[in-house]
Amino acid sequence: MAQDAKYVTLSDANFQQEVIDSKEPVLVDFWATWCGPCRIIAPVIEELAGEYEGRAKIAKLDVDHNQMTPMAYGIRSIPTLLLFKDGQVVDQIIGAVPKRALVDKLDAALSN
């Protein structure tokens, strides 16, 4: 993984601080290395991290190495993306979706 990645790498340990306590909306990508659709949307996630820097936080959580958080949010299939605002889930996207769908949801969270 590139050191200059703009997305935040989440773990069970830092989830509270990085997501729940965040002042800005957070899009969390629940993924795994063996997941084909996760690899398909990975470049989109990285693009969004750059485009929304300073306005929203884009984060990734590897479900194989961090199992408590996905369990707490009932993640059953990946990729699942949860959009958090003020510590609460405000939207959910399951599966690989076009970038436009993610942009629409992020923009909606930013405008509310």
**Catalytically active residues, by annotation:** 35, 38
Structure-token match 């997501």, residue found: 19
The set of residues, in sequence order, having a beta carbon less than 8 Å from that of 90 and lying 6+ positions away, is 25, 83, 84, 109, 112
- Spatial strand order of the sheet with 26-31 comes to 8-10, 57-62, 26-31, 80-85, 88-94
